[in-house]
């Protein structure tokens, strides 16, 4: 189920009534099962980009194709979009409202036409996917949970519809390290199982560790688009944009400048540690 954007423009209306460009001539393609990170400064167009992909904003110009069909076309069935694409906004826990976790997660299936047994099974699967014990959590009030647990419940409420594409807007902002790592591992597993993941984040270390491809936005334009290694290796361009690479990439470059020979393309802490260990085994002194 590829997603394709063709020359997409979007503009907001300024205070004086003049248009302010949020997206300009954005073209890209995301294939099935990719894990794509989107990064850039606040106001660069990241959130507008994912909202147009999710069909929440209609571009002023250009096309957004899902399975080859224009989602903003007059004959497109928007129910297909809602079934195939799920979006999780920043701080989704603020949207919890039901009296129990089970009811909150199952709410997305209210008009699905599924029978009660199937809804229970989907709800159980979604909660267990987010690393909960279904029996332990199902009757609890969502409001009684910790911040990290609330966010995982809110995400389960999107997962329950089993979308083929999951879009996240700053999903790990404000999470403690334990819940951040748990969330990223769950999302990574979903991607390995075939779900397409699109994630906006300022956390470049998380993107370096888990994403496979990076799109860099600046002033509404797609400035960089490539593998995580390619993007984080272009230090001059990142610096010109006022951005930094992930910490493992920066540390690897610092060590290389001091004569420590490491493999090319390091973007994760695991790869960095393996490279240092290999260097030490070969008689180097990091």
Query: Which of 40, 102, 31 minimizes the C-alpha distance to 65?
Result: 31
Whether residue 85 is found in the same domain as residue 185: yes
Same domain, 176 and 231: yes
The confidence score (pLDDT) of residue 286 equals: 47
Among candidates 3, 69, 71, which has minimal Cα distance to 34? 3
Report the percentage of the chain scoring pLDDT > 70: 98
Same domain, 161 and 278: no
- The verdict on 159 and 275 lying in the same domain is no
The fraction of the chain above a pLDDT of 90, given in percent, is 55
Kindly state the tokens that stand for 243. Answer: 């951005």
pLDDT given for residue 139 in this prediction: 93
Residues 106, 198, single domain; the answer is: yes
**CA neighbours within 13 Å on the CB side: how many for 21?**
12
* Per-residue pLDDT tens digits for 91-103: 777 778 888 999 9
10-25 pLDDT, tens per residue? 998 777 767 788 999 9
Report helix angle 147-159 to 177-192, nearest 10.
20
Counted domains in the chain: 2
For the domain that residue 213 is a member of, what is the CATH number? 3.40.50.300
Tell whether 193 and 256 lie within a shared domain: no
For residues 162 and 275, membership in a common domain is answered with no
Query: Would you call 285 exposed, middle or buried from its count of C-beta atoms within 10 A (0-12, 13-18, 19+)?
Result: exposed
Asked whether residue 221 falls in the same domain as residue 273, the answer is no
Structural domain span for residue 110:
3-245
> Do 119 and 261 reside in the same domain of the chain?
no
- Residue 72 in tokens: 């903003």
Does residue 262 share a domain with residue 184? Answer: no
Q: Are residues 172 and 31 in the same domain?
A: yes
CB atoms within 10 A of CB 122: 20
pLDDT in tens, 253-284: 888 888 888 888 888 888 898 888 888 887 65
Q: Tokens for 61, please give them.
A: 């110009």
**Range in 2-16, 106-120, 177-191 the model is least confident about:** 106-120
> What mean pLDDT do residues 70-86 have?
89
Distance CA 189, CA 183 (A): 10
**Does the predicted model carry a pTM greater than 0.75?**
yes
Sign for the pseudo-dihedral over CA of 72, 74, 75, 78: positive
Same domain, 85 and 184: yes
């Amino acid at each position: 189920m590829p997603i394709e954007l063709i020359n997409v423009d979007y503009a907001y209306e300024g205070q004086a009534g003049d248009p302010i460009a949020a997206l300009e001539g954005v073209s890209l393609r995301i294939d099935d099962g990719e894990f794509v990170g989107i990064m850039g400064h606040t106001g660069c167009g990241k959130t507008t980009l994912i909202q147009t992909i999710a069909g929440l904003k209609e571009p002023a110009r250009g096309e957004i194709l899902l399975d080859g069909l224009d989602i903003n076309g007059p004959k497109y069935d928007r129910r297909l979009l809602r079934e195939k694409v799920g979006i999780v906004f920043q701080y989704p826990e603020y949207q919890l409202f039901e009296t129990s976790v089970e009811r909150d997660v199952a709410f997305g299936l209210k008009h699905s036409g599924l029978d009660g047994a199937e809804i229970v099974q989907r709800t159980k699967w979604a909660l267990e996917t987010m690393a909960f014990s279904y029996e332990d959590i199902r009757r609890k009030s969502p409001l009684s949970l910790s911040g990290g647990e609330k966010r995982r419940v809110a995400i389960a409420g999107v997962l329950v519809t089993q979308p083929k594409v999951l879009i996240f807007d700053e999903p790990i902002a404000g999470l403690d390290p334990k819940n951040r790592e748990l969330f990223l591992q769950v999302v990574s597993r979903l991607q390995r199982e075939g779900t397409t993941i699109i994630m906006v984040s300022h956390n470049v270390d998380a993107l370096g560790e888990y994403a496979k491809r990076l799109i860099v936005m600046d002033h509404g334009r797609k400035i960089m688009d490539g593998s995580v290694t390619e993007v984080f290796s272009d230090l001059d361009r990142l610096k010109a944009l006022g951005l930094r690479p992930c910490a493992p990439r920066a540390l690897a470059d610092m060590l290389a400048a001091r004569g420590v020979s490491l493999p090319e393309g390091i973007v994760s802490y695991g790869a960095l540690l393996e490279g240092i260990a290999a260097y030490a085994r070969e008689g180097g002194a990091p």
